[in-house]
Amino acid sequence: MFFRKKQKQVETNDEPSTSSAISLALKAHLGIESSDLIQVVISAKEISISLPIPSTLDEATILEVLQERGLIPSGYQCRVASNIPMFAAKQALVTNVKNIVAVSSGKGGVGKSATAVNLALALTKLGARVGILDADIYGPSVPIMLGTTNASPESNDNKTMQPIHAHGMVSNSIGYLVDNEHASIWRGPMASKALQQLVNETKWPLLDYLIVDMPPGTGDIQLTMAQNIPLTAAVVVTTPQDIALSDAGKGIAMFEKLDIPVVGIVENMSFFECPSCHTQSPIFASGGASKLGSRYKLPVLAEVPINMQIRENADNGHSLFADHSNTHLQDIYLDAARSMAANMVNKIKVSQVAIASGGGIDITRLD
């Protein structure tokens, strides 16, 4: 959880603290282990902060945190920008795409696609440039969840496809291109080739994260697909009951075998909260993901309740973030997105990074 703890007001100086004191204070709040990628430029009455995780939504809270700690005198403006690094991946990345994150599940029907879409929407809300790729060749549900079932990617050059825009993100899916019935009878190599084409032949705009909704399972097809996409990291989705957890464990092992860092587990359908009495019932048992997390030394990014709004939004192609009616659910996904981004910073070597310079911050250099 970020930014929630209130600190006691500390007496402030007239001058701001040094950049390194500010980065150190922010590091703890952001869940980042090193302050190296937090850049702070102090100028007259303004502090520009560049973070390696998406947090532009949190500008006011960051200012509050720094003022409460007496690191910035009142009267100073605080400008927060995110400059998401490109993390090291085993294969050459796709043009314009900084990082590709697989959302995967060992077992079908645990809410992997809903999690992928809501994580992508949360990252977008936090200010990141996000794309979503539906790799679930056998049951593409991203177009339904984004409300884009009638869309079809256009091509200006007969070689590449323009992705579909919706809810501030771009997407591509086999569901835009062929009937579900056709894709579902494809054999492994055909499905894998189709996925590679979707990744490489889409004209992605500059993206901080491309979220990939993987097909469920850990068989040969999933393994080949995970090998054929230049993945930077993976998130594993599970429900809390034993049968799903054992499959999720196989999923984690598959990514470990492929040397793709798993940056967290999302426990979906963790509990049902009665809307009138607020009692929480652990319908599919409880505590499973945290046990799995301890076994594999992985953080649990979120415990998402079973909630009708999640189902309705997903089925109707509406964004959970479209208005303020679901802020408690939005907060769960926003925290998960922040933790995922912070764990990428903590676990994966950076291959390209932005550096601060003179008045600006958004300059990229090769390490």
CA 329/CA 308 separation, integer angstroms: 11
| Environment class of 283 (CB within 10 Å of its CB; exposed 0-12, middle 13-18, buried 19+) | middle
The pairing of beta strand 100-104 with beta strand 209-213: parallel
Nearer to ligand ATP, 85 or 305 (CB): 305
Instruction: Name the minimum Å distance from CB 181 to ligand ATP.
Output: 15
Instruction: Decide if 90 contacts 232 (C-beta within 8 A).
Output: no
Is 112 known as a binding-site position?
Answer: yes
Interaction between residue 55 and ligand ATP (CB under 6 A): no
Among 25, 304, 341, 345, which residue sits at the site for ligand ATP (rule: CB under 6 A)?
304
Instruction: Name the minimum Å distance from CB 231 to ligand ATP.
Output: 18
Helices 242-257 and 220-228: crossing angle in degrees, nearest 10, is 40
Spatial CA neighbour of 145 closest among 366, 4, 311 = 311
Listed as own residue / partner, the contacts of 63-66 with beta carbons closer than 8 Å and 24 or more positions apart are 65/3, 65/7, 65/25, 65/26, 65/29, 66/22, 66/25, 66/26
Interaction between residue 110 and ligand ATP (CB under 6 A): yes
Is 111 known as a binding-site position?
Answer: yes
DSSP 14-58: SS---HHHHHHHHHHHHT-S-STT-EEEEETTEEEEEESS--GGG
Instruction: Name the minimum Å distance from CB 259 to ligand ATP.
Output: 25
CA trace torsion 283, 287, 288, 289 (10° rounding): 110
Instruction: Name the minimum Å distance from CB 277 to ligand ATP.
Output: 19
Among 35, 83, 99, 307, which residue sits at the site for ligand ATP (rule: CB under 6 A)?
307
CA 258/CA 272 separation, integer angstroms: 35
Nearer to ligand ATP, 211 or 304 (CB): 304
Is 106 known as a binding-site position?
Answer: yes
Instruction: Name the minimum Å distance from CB 160 to ligand ATP.
Output: 27
Instruction: Decide if 301 contacts 1 (C-beta within 8 A).
Output: no
Task: List the interface residues with ligand ATP, window 196-225 (CB under 6 A).
Answer: 216
CA 67/CA 70 separation, integer angstroms: 5
Instruction: Give the per-residue contact string, 112-141, with ligand ATP (x = CB under 6 A; - = no).
Output: xxx---------------------x--x-x
Q: Which stretch binds ligand ATP (CB under 6 A): 48-56, 80-88, 308-316, 319-327?
A: 308-316
Residue 185's CB is within 10 A of a number of other CB atoms, namely 9
Instruction: Name the minimum Å distance from CB 145 to ligand ATP.
Output: 7
Among 171, 192, 238, 268, which residue sits at the site for ligand ATP (rule: CB under 6 A)?
268
Nearer to ligand ATP, 52 or 175 (CB): 175
Is 107 known as a binding-site position?
Answer: yes
Name the site residues for ligand ATP (rule: CB under 6 A): 105, 108-114, 136, 139, 141, 216, 268-269, 304, 306-307, 310-311, 314-315
Residue list for the binding site for ATP: 106-113
